[in-house]
A and B are shown apart, each in its own frame.
Chain A
Amino acid sequence: MRLRIGGDRLLHVYTWILIAWLVLPIAVMILFGFNDPQGRYNQTWQGFTLKWYGEVFALEALTDALVVSLLVAVATALIAGALGTGIGYALGRWQFRGAGALNLLMFAAIASPELVMGSSLLSLFVSLGAPLGPVSITIAHVMFSVSFVAVVVRARVVTLDRSLEEAAADLGASGWTTFWKVIFPIILPAILSGVMLAFALSIDDFVITNFTAGTTQTFPLWIWGSTRVGLPPQVNVMGTMIFAGGVLLAVLSNVRSRPRRKTA
């Protein structure tokens, strides 16, 4: 109880430190997208310019890498979203044989180091003779992100009122109709969170992608390759755009899920 005295002030300071910690690197990234560096290195502030925004897609290899990353991320989000929803719903709804094993497996997929997963995936693809490229990257990304979707969906499903399903059946709905007309719309926000999580995990994944990409360049791989020769400001601009897209999605989903005001 003694801690309460002055606790408010302390909480404020703590909150601001935390916010600064989270925001500072992003702020630097955004800021240097407006920098006008003289040499190859975009590391010291040399003047304000908007030209990188005009020339954001000027570097063909970088643009190609970004497109690959976006395509892989979208495919991953969709596939992992669909598969994860199925797994999460099944785990949350029924007790079936193998449910325990599946839970364990999902946890293992979330917890296991990316290095381990990446290298074993590489040897799997090589031994199967599967070509490395966008497809193998997507398979790998789905593999590690499906568990996250499933966990998020399961958490929502277990809190669902079971009588909703009974009410639907009582009113004449088949199991299929009940899922699509009742369950799915209710758990959709959770599914969307899972899908966004999968997208975010995929678009900036480096370690596993590095193992499974072959000669394909993704956005993170291209950046890594360019760090030694100096990063062009376009990278900052693209990073800023991805960040802005993420913020926009977060704001939108926040607005959507806020309960509507009572209309008098």
Chain B
Amino acid sequence: MTTSPPKSAAHPAIEFVGVRKDYLSHGEAVPAVRSLDLAIGQGEFFSLLGPSGCGKTTTMRMVAGFEEPTAGRVMLDGRDVTGVAPNKRDVNMVFQSYALFPHLTVRQNVAFGLERKKVAKAEITRRVGEMLEIVSLTGMEKRQPREMSGGQQQRVALARALVNHPRALLLDEPLGALDLKLRQQMQIELKRIQREVGITFVYVTHDQGEALTMSDRIAVMNSGLIEQLGSPRDIYERPSTRFVAGFIGTSNLIDGRVSWADQGYAVIDKGSGERVVVPVPGTVPVGRDLEVSVRPEKIDLHRTLPSGVTGSLLSGTVTEVVYHGTSTNYTVATSDGTDLVVFDQNAHDAEDVASRGERVFLTWAPQHSYPIGV
């Protein structure tokens, strides 16, 4: 299917150049987006991820044209669209509330944008039919939005935007109103549709799982700034700031002072044979304070002191055991007072499970941990 518009690959689909956005609230300028320089590539599935109020919606609305930046420029396909009205911008948006026109049928809703562009009747019929097929709504053309389920309305909203072949599709927490099962189904669906139509998707969400599953790249935002920009794997495995480490998944953060460093490794000695070994770029000075992040699923839990450990080793007391079916989650209080979370796959026998109050040993390979902000 070749439904994607011809694109000039020379330019990013969307570009923010020194963008700032302040809202006026009671005569006072409140910053929503502080400083944004970002290029989103053609055909990319790009997610803006961050907690509520961090400026995701504002960022997206500046692309759609519903908000104008206080400073800086927004470019679409290399063209400066700052100050251009929303109805003159070649992007389309899927609203969180869907914003379907309640008085129109599914077909009329989807045809709305094409009719505004004065596309020929036959062409409209063809494209609407094709799009409804892509979103699996064939046969529902004559229904009104209120006669459809939330998931179906969601698909109508998607079709209504995509049928126009926009330069980019903007989705503001589009799955927020759906229940978990439907949401997971739609995540896969959305990814499939995006591949099929080849249009740039900008996806706003506060759900890290959603962003990690679907995106080519993610920008993690916090109070109006991008904290980290990278692939889902980058962001998950190598969070570059404390905020990202805490926001994405469950992260363990261990503080300590570098005892000695060598050949791209730093070691934090915790005494009595316990230590944290972490890879570092270049060299770090001995005595420097370091914050190390390690994911719960990377840690191995032992009920007896393992021998021949070359990586990190810590001991502690189990304070919490939560059974999750496929895995068991432990919380372990280490001797230096840090609480570490460990996910253990339930592959072995039930006798192997440590119980609350038990003394355990934690190990992980150096390459599974990262220093924050180094």
- B87–A173 CB distance below 8 A: yes
Chain A neighbourhood of B143, CB < 8 A: 263
A172 and B117 contacting across the interface, CB-CB below 8 Å: yes
- Decide: A172 near B116, CB < 8 A? Known: A161-B99, A166-B99, A262-B147: yes
Residue A8, interface by CB 8 Å: no
Smallest CB separation, B104 vs chain A (Å): 8
The reply to whether A166 and B144 contact each other, CB–CB distance below 8 Å, is no
Residues of B79-102 at the interface with A, using a CB-CB cut-off of 8 Å, are 85-88, 91-93, 95, 97, 99-102
The answer to the question of B217 belonging to the interface, with a C-beta cut-off of 8 Å to chain A, is no
Q: How far apart sit A137 and B298, CA to CA, in the bound complex (Å)?
A: 86
CB distance from A132 to the nearest CB of B (A): 43
**Which B residues are in CB contact (< 8 Å) with A171?**
87, 92, 112-113, 116, 160-161, 164
Q: How many Å lie between the Cα of A177 and that of B164 in the bound state?
A: 18
Partner of A182, one of B91, B101, B146, B164: B101
Contacts of B66 in A (CB 8 A): 166, 169
A:89-122 near B, CB below 8 Å:
none
Interface assignment of B26: CB less than 8 Å from any CB of chain A: no
- Is B103 close to A, CB under 8 A? yes
Q: How far is the CA of A164 from the CA of B97 in the complex (A)?
A: 9
The reply on A246 being an interface residue by CB < 8 A is: no
In whole angstroms, what is the CA distance A182 to B147 when docked? Answer: 19
Closest to B86 in A: A169
Specify which of B95, B161, B164 is in contact with A166 (CB 8 Å cutoff). Answer: B95
A163 to B102, CA, bound (A): 12
Interface SS majority for chain A? helix
Q: Which residue of A lies closest to B97 (CB)?
A: A163
- Taking CB atoms, residues of chain B closer than 8 Å to A174 are 87
Q: Which residue of B lies closest to A261 (CB)?
A: B147
- The bracket for how many chain A residues form the interface is 20 to 34
Q: Kindly provide the distance from the CB of A176 to the nearest chain B CB, expressed in whole angstroms.
A: 11
The size of the chain B interface, using a CB distance under 8 A, is 28
Known interface pairs A161-B97, A186-B102; A169-B85 also in contact (CB < 8 Å):
yes
Q: B64 interface residue, CB < 8 Å from A?
A: yes
Contact of A170 among B92, B97, B147 (CB under 8 A): B92
A185 on the B face (CB < 8 A):
yes
Closest to A259 in B: B146
Interface string of A177-188 (1 = CB under 8 A from B): 100011001100
| Chain A residues, CB < 8 A from B64 | 166, 170
- What residues of B have a CB within 8 angstroms of the CB of A169 in the complex? 65-66, 85-87
**A31 interface residue (CB < 8 Å to B):** no
A263 B164 Cβ-Cβ under 8 A: no
For B147, give its contact among A168, A173, A260 (CB under 8 Å): A260
Instruction: Write out, one digit per residue, whether chain A residues 246-264 have a CB within 8 A of any chain B CB (1) or not (0).
Output: 0000000000000110110
Contact A167 B93 (CB under 8 A): yes
Task: Give the distance in Å from the alpha carbon of A186 to the alpha carbon of B112 in the complex.
Answer: 15
B87, B91, B92, B147: which contacts A263 (Cβ < 8 A)? B147
Q: How far is the CA of A263 from the CA of B99 in the complex (A)?
A: 22
Name the B residues within 8 Å of A166 (CB-CB): 64, 66, 86, 93, 95, 99
**Is B116 within 8 A of A173, CB to CB?**
yes
Q: Could you show 11 A-B contacts with beta carbons less than 8 Å apart?
A: A164-B101, A166-B64, A169-B65, A169-B66, A169-B86, A170-B87, A170-B161, A171-B87, A171-B112, A171-B160, A172-B117
Other contacts beyond A163-B97, A263-B143: 15, CB < 8 A? A161-B97, A164-B99, A166-B66, A166-B93, A166-B95, A167-B101, A168-B112, A170-B161, A171-B160, A171-B161, A171-B164, A172-B116, A172-B164, A177-B116, A186-B101
Closest 3 CB pairs of A and B: A172-B116, A171-B113, A167-B99
